[in-house]
Structure 1
């Protein structure tokens, strides 16, 4: 077990002792969460039995990490805005008993403790002293101190927030929660912040002045498990990895690009069918690449020309990828690019073709993909977070405008002051 500067601990088992016939259960991370110092019922107010808590028992589950992280950040930000202690929760794929779930006929962890993915106040680390707020607690501790809770549901607001902007929605819930005297407040039912909100970039932008200054974002960090994966692969990714202790400084010359494959083609067709906009924080007006849904689409259907436009931006083929890379490399912000990292779930054979096409187009010091990374058994099941850490530090990032993972990367890039002209899209 290795201590980190944040006071958290990195639990790495020798690979020789790991049973890779079953997915990891992250037991040591669960134990470490239970042993966090704030998990003491006898602490004085505003902690322990005297705390004021916000539990989001309606959080999303059974869906990809990008979507889960979006909602998690908003839930934690809402708790911060209401001066309540946030109750953090697992990244959950299945709520059924047992430690194993199935995805694409393969076993995966049913639940991953959030501290295996994240650090910072969102995952129980202390707030900056000026905030004077107690650290977040686990669901188990909340159940221990809150035998009874006031329960709220999204539908208490009726349809008044159905098309509202993110800032309006958050403020409405801040006002509603301020009317609750019970120190134990629990939400159930539908999610407060849903896919319709995150899928509409224009509704998201007015929350940015508040969210970007929230310690949920300013103090956000990836877990030691994620950072150690990036550092272990320094020779594959970039020699400057980990020189910045906060892992926020850009990596000179590194082009990261998000290339989704597999069943994402079906998602892209869905976006085209409904003339979708870019996801969440992919719509900052400072970004040079903008997208307006082309006219001609109908209710669940679109024109052949429009389908082609969506696929170029959402599911580009190898010639389109290479063409876009060379366009950006020839631009003023891309001339220094000499390394590539590809965030991808693509098959190895296809990625080999992509690498060869990129090498034919230009000279690169290295081309690395997600499939090339050397990861421990625990790291393999949180590899999407490893990708995000690399992308948020890349000199230039080409993202998928329809992706929640890209949106989260771009949120961090903007929050940490990376030049918006160095965030691009297909």
Structure 2
């Protein structure tokens, strides 16, 4: 779905201001930068932090998981603690780059593994008791999985390209990212509500929150950089089962017309019908698809398993004409880079979310929802009480004490190009979807 670009909010100017604020500590970092890394790891300032960290959190991937929402009561305090911790890391010399030409994984014996161990120890993903060696053992593998969990990467315990790129983001850059996101979190001053839905755009996931606990999390597909998902606050008012899909003008022009030029049967095969302004159906064969402008018609897809929104559409008030929906392309949720929509948000396991949203709406049990979807009949349902929904842009947070999470700055709002690790991956899709 096309959308206006989100407000930049805290952007490059904030990032540069943070850099200036680092000031004196940057000078200290330069002076400490030549100190052997073994001394940095053993520095008393780090030791105090490590001792506290060991007492608070397990160094496993599972420890990263939490039912605390990103914007829970402790969000700001946890982020402030993370800023303090990373200031300590930066002042102590940061962490080393991991330089390797081979894929590092369990069983490998390479000098780069010693760099990796130091990097994981300084970042808090590996205990100092694991020591420094060239051996990629099970302890290192678990430390890598924990790092991957904190950065939204597949938990394979292997140092591939994206894990390596994330490892090699400098500590002072991560510190500035934390400061930028602390400002974003602190800017949320209103009461989010007892029940709400939160979409974190760069994390590409959805939280259903009730009484400050995450009831369910859902993997999401959000807008690519050329068609960004907007930042907004709204309320869910309506769920449509077996929805019709009306193609927006941008998708008609950029996607459907070029596809019709290649394959004149595309509309029929995808159950998309054309209607004029008086709701009269128009035969696609009567249209000149090579004309300079796309036809001024309504392109509407009937409910079906191949409908762009599949079983469900979730509507909320907004000026961007975006919404949340199901998708027939369930395999997309397994991808690492999930920035492929035209602005709308696709939600995995959307029936679970719909059931939660309709909980207080009489007559709409999970069984009734499933039976209605099976019928194929388009059915709009008004919520008994509207539920707040928030689309936010947060690339660093700590929903659990001293466990800091980072995500790719996909829309390049954080002001450092090395934080937009996956931006170049998002090509225009070959299929029509929102």
Task: Give the TM-score taking structure 1 as reference length.
Answer: 0.26
Give 1 or 2: higher helix fraction. 1
Which structure has the greater CA radius of gyration? 2
Choose between structure 1 and 2 for higher RCO, CA contacts under 8 A separated by at least 6 residues: 2
Task: Give the TM-score taking structure 2 as reference length.
Answer: 0.26
